[in-house]
Amino acid sequence: MAFLLARRKEDLMTLAADLDLTFEASFTKLKLKELIVKSPDYVEDDVKKMLDGIVEERTKGEEKAEKEKIRREEKEEKIRREEKEEKIRREEKEEKIRKEEKEEK
C-alpha cells in the first residue's frame, strides 16, 4: 500500500477515476490512498499494474510534449536565424547600391 503514496497525486486521481471512485480534486494523497484501498475492487497486484500503466502513459505523454517543445523551439530558432541572415543580406545589398550611386556622382 505504501507504493500508492510514492506516486504523484495526479496518478492517484487517475487510478481512482479508473476504479470508478468518487473523489474531489482537493483530496490529499493520503485520502486518495485510503479511498483506493477501501474500494471493493482493490486487489493490490492489479492496482499496482494499473498504476504502473498510468505512470507509464503519463511519462510517455510528458516525453512527447518535451520533444514537441524542443522541435518547436528549434524551428523558431531556425526562422529567427534565417530572418537575421536575410536582414544582413538586404543591408549589404542596400549598402552596395549606395556605394555604387555615390561612385556614379
C-alpha separations of 59 from 9, 29, 33, 63 in Å:
14, 19, 21, 6
The total number of structural domains that make up the chain: 1
CA distance 103 to 82: 31
**How do residues 69-90 score in pLDDT, each as one tens digit?**
999 999 999 999 999 999 999 9
What residues make up the domain containing 12? Answer: 1-104
C-alpha separations of 83 from 3, 16, 78, 90, 100 in Å:
52, 50, 9, 10, 26
What are the grid coordinates assigned to 67, written together? 520533444
Look at the pTM and tell me if it is higher than 0.85.
no
**How do residues 6-32 score in pLDDT, each as one tens digit?**
999 999 999 999 999 999 999 999 999
